Amino acid sequence: MNKLGERLSELKRRHRKAFIAFVTAGDPTIQHTLDIAGILDEAGADVIELGLPFSDPIADGQTIQKAGERSLARGMNTDKYFRITETLSRKYDVPLVCLTYYNVILQYGVERFAESCRTFGVSGVIVPDVPVEESGELSKACGRNNVNLIFLVSETTTPERMDRILEKASGFVYVVALLGTTGARDTLSEKLGALVRRVKRKTKLPVAVGFGISKPEHAKKVIGYGADAVIVGSAIVKIIEENISNKRRMLDRIKSFAAAMRRACG
């Protein structure tokens, strides 16, 4: 069991739900990322999902796409990303999960990427554009390095395909709360509760819900459906975007928002 598994198991023993916070590495600078991660840890984030940006992010909405563009414009790359995770993993106990795209991993080298995750403090990897049917090489590399490969399921996932995904999944199962790309929403899908319950019946892994979760009331509703964790990304990235010129205000607002989301998770 790695750091992610230990944290989620600890929360389960304490009958608490996890708050997973997403930010894009290097947005708007590496130092901002280090400071934001520290604030998220202080505010009670149980896991930090750290995006490794890619030029064509098919699952990301406009807010996170812009964050990736800002980061890439500043020269973010895979080597710099792992220097960030190494720094954070040495300074904080919060588990780190990488969200990226398969082109980035292929260019870096699949085995090398998994080894770097293990070496530099990344417990899990989410790769939205790798279908379970084509995940064999990455899955084996992650397994050899005690890194969780985390898969996504949605309301359009067939029962047969969900079974294949859950057979290979580790760490937690990422339930997509809405169809389309990431981004803050006012309301959640009416089908989400049934989907969460369907996944829970099929796996003992923690079930985390993301995409569109942007308010404490969203988190409370998702937890009420039986989810074990709530993933919040675009709402945090939007705070970064709106306060790029004032770092102190940015950090204060992220801390306040993250603390509210943590409380909502119970």
Spatial CA neighbour of 166 closest among 152, 147, 148: 152
115 is catalytic: no
Which of 27, 41, 46, 49 is labelled catalytic?
49
Report how far Cα 249 is from the mean position of its chain's Cα atoms: 24
Question: Among residues 60, 111, 134, 186, which one is catalytic?
Answer: 60
- What's the start-to-end Cα distance of the chain, in Å? 25
- The DSSP 8-state label assigned to residue 21 in this structure reads E
DSSP H/E element including 212: none
DSSP letter for each residue of 76-94: --HHHHHHHHHHHHHH--S
Instruction: Round to whole Å and give the CA distance between 102 and 66.
Output: 19
> Given CA atoms 54, 120, 44, 217 in this order, what sign does their dihedral have?
positive
- Coil, strand or helix: which one is 170? coil
What's the Cα-to-Cα distance from 92 to each of 37, 42, 86, 259, rounded to whole Å? 9, 10, 10, 17
Active-site residue 60, yes or no?
Answer: yes
Show which residues are catalytic. Answer: 49, 60
